[in-house]
Amino acid sequence: MALLSLKNVRVAFSGLTALDSISLDAEAGQVLAVIGPNGAGKSTLFNAIAGYVPLAGGSIQFDGRDIQGLPIHAISALGMRRSFQNGGVFGAMTTLENVLTGLSQRIASKPMGLLFGLAGARRAEAEAREHAVELLHMMGLAAIAHRPARELSAGQQRLVEITRALAARARLLLLDEPAVGLTSAEREHLMAILRRLCSEGIAIVLVEHAVDMVMAVSDRIAVLNYGKLIATGSPQEVRTHPAVLEAYLGQS
């Protein structure tokens, strides 16, 4: 069963149909890229999945549960994280502190103090810190653990944002143009990280304009145009799909 499953999802903004009967699955351990011309509905798709805009029709299941109509925080607590196009880190906090905010969101949902008393709560906090440091090592961020996030490069900030989502136990990452503003070395690093997260069972849905990156990193690609899904398939299938060629050629 797919981790995320959309069935006939429709979103309308006062008359404009921004998403028209979209059915789409995202699997654990895979990168699904969503591409399409400007205004195609890519960001709206993310907003609908993460609960930022209501559906006018259809349904969305995450891990077998209907999530349409749930508030944003409830969806996020189930293990889904959406990144934003600009920023997403707390600039005044260090890298480590940013990641700890992800962990504390997870811990805050459990009444540690009530269950274990103060000593138990302290122990939980120490463990959280250890886990955060482990994640920083895995992501290659350990050397900048104590630098304020605002001093980091765009690529490093993006990785901090992803690390924080992992700390909060995200199982599905929705990444909106994560490669914007990154150097080519940072892009390479980001792609390697995304592949690695997939190999550990995370599902990734990616909106990205950098076609080279999309082709290299994705298992499947979905193509939106005017709110409609015009193609889905492997990078190879999509690259040669007539409707896709027409949508892109028609735009320029």
Q: Which of 149, 134, 213 is nearest to 180 (CA)?
A: 213
Give pairs for 235-243: CB < 8 Å, separation 24+.
239/215
Task: Return the number of the residue (67 or 224) whose C-beta is nearest ligand ADP.
Answer: 224
Applying CB under 5 A, the span of 39-47, 122-130, 181-189, 220-228 interacting with Mg ion comes to: 39-47
Q: State the Cα–Cα distance between residues 35 and 42, nearest whole angstrom.
A: 7
The verdict on 44 binding Mg ion (CB under 5 A) reads no
Q: Pick one of 5, 30, 43, 95: the residue that binds Mg ion (CB under 5 A).
A: 43
Please state, in angstroms and as integers, the Cα–Cα distance from residue 209 to each residue in 35, 38, 151, 176, 206, following that order.
Answer: 7, 10, 26, 10, 10
The DSSP call for residue 58 is E
Please provide residue 27's backbone torsions phi and psi, each rounded to the nearest 5 degrees.
-100, 145
Beta bridge partners of 31: 204
Task: Return the number of the residue (36 or 88) whose C-beta is nearest ligand ADP.
Answer: 36
Indicate which of ligand ADP, Mg ion, none lies near residue 69 (CB less than 5 to 8 Å, by partner kind). none
Task: Return the number of the residue (39 or 69) whose C-beta is nearest ligand ADP.
Answer: 39
For the bound state, the minimum distance from the C-beta of residue 252 to ligand ADP, rounded and expressed in Å, comes to 16
Task: Return the number of the residue (12 or 154) whose C-beta is nearest ligand ADP.
Answer: 12
Q: Kindly state the tokens that stand for 78.
A: 């189930």
Task: Return the number of the residue (36 or 155) whose C-beta is nearest ligand ADP.
Answer: 36
Count Cβ atoms below 10 Å from residue 146 Cβ, excluding itself.
10
For the bound state, the minimum distance from the C-beta of residue 43 to Mg ion, rounded and expressed in Å, comes to 3
Residues near ligand ADP, by CB under 6 A = 13, 16, 18, 36, 38-44
By the criterion CB under 5 A, which residues form the site for Mg ion?
Answer: 42-43
